[in-house]
Amino acid sequence: MKNMTLNLTAELTDARILAVIRGTSTAGAIAAGAALLEEGVRIVEVALTTPDAPKAIAALRETAPAGSLVGAGTVLTAADVADVAAAGAQFVVTPAVVESIPEAARRGLPVAAGAFTPTEAYTATRMGASVVKLFPASVGGPGYLKAVRDPFPDIPFVAVGGVGFDDVPRYLAVGAIAVGVGGPLVGDAASGGDVDALRERARTYLEAVAGWRA
């Protein structure tokens, strides 16, 4: 499925939150994703470490509100790209600089590529990534993101990994276009846990980024 007209940078800059769904249950991942989308979190990623993740992606695409995006995370190989493209993923996220980046770009799927160093960030964009996911962001914190970003003002960065509620404004303040949030937002909902608690956290995170909307 081609997504050549999708500007992932603009979408993330507008939404400010990328919800990362990583669970032990396909049904749980679908329930968590549906709840996030219903609460107004517009961009969700289903990690391929989730059982039958392509099925969850396809199910969420069928019911997602207009204007929302459903993508695939932990996409490592060209075969992974083929699987998630067939499921209808609208974008791809990687944990590192891997072979899936050029393959996704070749298929017209926007890529947020995982990187931690300046060299990796630059290499990822040269391979076709439109966004760099600084991962794991918590290792260096907002100051490190700023230091990596300073030489590359034209590369859009998303902070992912250990981003708690209080960290959100700190990353946005140093130039991250968005934050990716997994456990602190999703909790155990993607593994069959408390979806109502997830809804409450989603509303809290959305309130936190309301003033940062593009």
Positions marked active-site:
45, 133
Instruction: Decide: 47 and 53 in contact? Cβ < 8 Å.
Output: yes
In this structure, the number of other CB atoms found within 10 A of the CB of residue 60 comes to: 25
Q: Are strands 111-115 and 92-93 parallel, antiparallel or unpaired?
A: parallel
Instruction: Decide: 47 and 74 in contact? Cβ < 8 Å.
Output: yes
* Sign (positive or negative) of CA dihedral 153, 158, 164, 169: positive
CB neighbours of 148 closer than 8 A, spacing ≥ 6? 117, 118, 121, 134, 140, 157
Question: What is the rounded CA–CA span in Å between residue 146 and residue 196?
Answer: 35
Structure tokens at 39: 């609460």
